[in-house]
Structure 1
Amino acid sequence: MSTFLSSLRPGLRMANTARAFSTSPKHSLARLIITGRLGAEPELHATSSGQEIVRYNVASSSGPISNRHTSWFRVSHFAPEGPQRDFVLSLQKGTLVYVEGDARMSTWEDSEGHSRSTLNIVQRTIEVLRRPDNNGNSDESH
């Protein structure tokens, strides 16, 4: 009987140990993927510390055409001056994009004392899936 129990011990020891399956850094809270269209051209803004960031909105729609629901996401991009930042700033309204970003919820109290929350998304990558036609219209036929 003791031989049987000793053969189970390695398995029992493994059941009590924790395994980490993530290789992401500890400071990453959540990763979000958005596929949608730019609601306007991206804009360059300065933070309170003077750092320049690019901000843009992505609209993602779901559901049947008769009952379509659109969600809007505000995205920030902290690229330094250079080709990467210039690329994002050159995108037109209506461009279909695939964005991966880090997401974090922030909560604050507004001027009327109500608790408010917002989802902050910091872009990690962006890929252009389809550009609007020359008139700035989205190409929905494909």
Structure 2
Amino acid sequence: MSSFLLRRVLPTSARAFSTSTPRSSFAKMTIIGRLADTPEVQATSTGHQILKYAVGTNSGPKDNQKTNWFKVTSFLPEGPQRDFIASLDKGTLVYIEGDASMSQYEDAEGKPRSALNIVQQKLEVLSPKKPQ
């Protein structure tokens, strides 16, 4: 077999699927759920302010539903967007997109627990507070 044909049949190097520089891995999440309480502004140890809230989602049949809770943090600067989110009522149905990470901690009784934390990238209000 000629060297020309051999080069056409046998690739000499693998092709990359991406031309961007490699980054560290990360996880993205999308959640649709209801606010567990009114979001609150908290000060960090560095003097910055962040917005923290929890979102609950339900799964399973109506007579045996399970609720999952997600802790969400927003690093939005002071302004209309942050003020709008901070004014949302408990029970508001929201759509959240963000970066996810797991953390381990001990609860008040000393039992090991884990939590899924979300850093908000996008929030949309889908409906106001659920009627009572």
Give TM-score, length-normalised by structure 2. Answer: 0.81
What amino acid is aligned across from residue 86 of structure 1 in structure 2?
Answer: D
**What secondary structure, in the 3-state scheme, does the structure 2 residue paired with 1:85 have?**
helix
Kindly report which structure 2 residues correspond to 1:53-132, keeping only aligned pairs within 5 A, or say none: 53-107=50-104, 117-132=114-129
Could you tell me which residue of structure 2 aligns to residue 17 of structure 1? 15
**What secondary structure, in the 3-state scheme, does the structure 1 residue paired with 2:9 have?**
helix
CA RMSD after TM alignment? 3.0
Aligned length, in residue pairs: 131
The separation in 2 between residues aligned to 1:88 and 1:25, in whole angstroms, is: 34
1:78 CA displacement: 0.8
More strand by share: 2
**What secondary structure, in the 3-state scheme, does the structure 1 residue paired with 2:82 have?**
helix
In structure 2, runs of 5+ residues without a counterpart are none
1:85 CA displacement: 0.4
1:64 CA displacement: 1.5
Asked if structure 1 preserves the Cα contact closer than 8 Å seen for 2:30 and 2:95, the reply is yes
The separation in 2 between residues aligned to 1:58 and 1:37, in whole angstroms, is: 5
Asked if structure 2 preserves the Cα contact closer than 8 Å seen for 1:28 and 1:102, the reply is no
Question: Cα–Cα, structure 1 residues 68 and 48, in superposed 2: closer, same or farther, change >3 Å?
Answer: same
In structure 1, runs of 5+ residues without a counterpart are 133-137
More helix by share: 1
CA deviations over 1:94-141 (Å, ceiling 9, x no partner): 10000001112234688x998654322110000000002xxxxx149x
Asked if structure 1 preserves the Cα contact closer than 8 Å seen for 2:51 and 2:74, the reply is yes
Asked if structure 1 preserves the Cα contact closer than 8 Å seen for 2:41 and 2:51, the reply is yes
1:69 CA displacement: 1.3
Asked if structure 1 preserves the Cα contact closer than 8 Å seen for 2:71 and 2:115, the reply is no
Give TM-score, length-normalised by structure 1. Answer: 0.76
What amino acid is aligned across from residue 101 of structure 1 in structure 2?
Answer: G
